[in-house]
Amino acid sequence: MGSTSINSNLIKHYTDYLRLELSLSDNSVEAYCHDVHLFLQYLEAQTISTEIDGIAQDTIENFFAYLYDMNIGATSQARILSGLKSFWRYLIQEGLAEKDPTELITSPSLGRHLPEVLSYEEIQKMIDSIDLSQPTGHRNKAMIEVMYGCGLRVSELIGLQISDIYREDGFLRILGKGSKERLVPIGDSSLRILYQYIEGARLHIMPKPKFTDTVFLNSRGTGLTRQMVFLMVKDLAEKNHITKTISPHTFRHSFATHLLEGGANLLAVQQMLGHASVSTTEIYTHISDDLLRETLLDYHPRMKKDKR
């Protein structure tokens, strides 16, 4: 048996098999193929051979460790594993693989170690429930929009400066972990809501000298603390009867999960999150700013809604 590589042509044949032989729905076919594409992106990003014969169990295990590092939850990981198991069943049936490297891998039991994922509807419900007649209303709405719309850490959110907003270009300059800077695209909807706060409610606050450039301020004119953001998120969740255990980080986790489940490029999402590992940093620096913004506009559910 000659060595075969996982490539777009093979995935097309797999697509036909799912549709014609198994009679799966279009949504199911798309989901199964997305899982294979995600795995292929990982192999290419890590410069691992895509030859089927060379893919062993540890390659699959490392892939799921990679997803874990990207904050992809246990439920999504289990679905992706199911997709890969289906793909290898097809490869063995077609005589393209002799053994199944996914056979001994069980569904991830990582849920308790990772934050919950909010659905798009739950996030929208929380945003809609914010009382804009209150002094903090527009600020809190803008904070949720930016956390979810850009996938920011809470420390990045409260440290955001007005001078870091490139309004015309649709980007934020973010100072992340280890003082590493990155550019993160921001969609038109989130940008509009952010400036409704900056050019509205924020003008009524007199910033203290050290906080004149800080975006999100409290009533005393100083910056917010992580605890203040946590309490705001907790209150919104309780107000909307959301029983999931959530924190500000939940919006960042939901951002990544929703983009990847929508079919976004794995590398672009990782760069937006600022999660580039040592072994793949070079690859991510080659992703253009235009691709990052295009990824957000094409795959983030709020951007899809705006484009209708």
Annotated catalytic, 153? yes
Phi, psi (degrees; rounded to nearest 5) at 141: -65, -45
From the list 85, 138, 182, 249, the catalytic residue is 249
Annotated catalytic, 275? yes
From the list 153, 258, 300, 302, the catalytic residue is 153
Annotated catalytic, 300? no
From the list 85, 141, 252, 293, the catalytic residue is 252
**Distance between CA atoms of residues 292 and 151, nearest Å:** 13
For residue 262, what are its two tokens?
């929508």
Annotated catalytic, 252? yes
Annotated catalytic, 177? yes
Sheet holding 181-185, edge to edge: 165-166, 171-175, 181-185
From the list 141, 275, 300, 302, the catalytic residue is 275
Three-state SS letters, the chain: CCCCECCHHHHHHHHHHHHHHCCCCHHHHHHHHHHHHHHHHHHHHCCCCCEHHHCCHHHHHHHHHHHHHCCCCHHHHHHHHHHHHHHHHHHHHCCCCCCCCCCCCCCCCCHHHCCCCCCHHHHHHHHHCCCCCCCCHHHHHHHHHHHHHHCCCHHHHHCCEHHHEECCCCEEEEECHHHCEEEEECCHHHHHHHHHHHCCHHHHCCCCHHHCCECCECCCCCECCHHHHHHHHHHHHHHCCCCCCCCHHHHHHHHHHHHHHCCCCHHHHHHHHCCCCHHHHHHHHCCCHHHHHHHHHHHCHHHHHHHC
Strand-pair partners of 217: 223
From the list 66, 284, 293, 302, the catalytic residue is 284
Annotated catalytic, 113? no
**Distance between CA atoms of residues 210 and 221, nearest Å:** 9
**Distance between CA atoms of residues 27 and 176, nearest Å:** 36
From the list 12, 177, 208, 305, the catalytic residue is 177
Active site residues: 153, 177, 249, 252, 275, 284
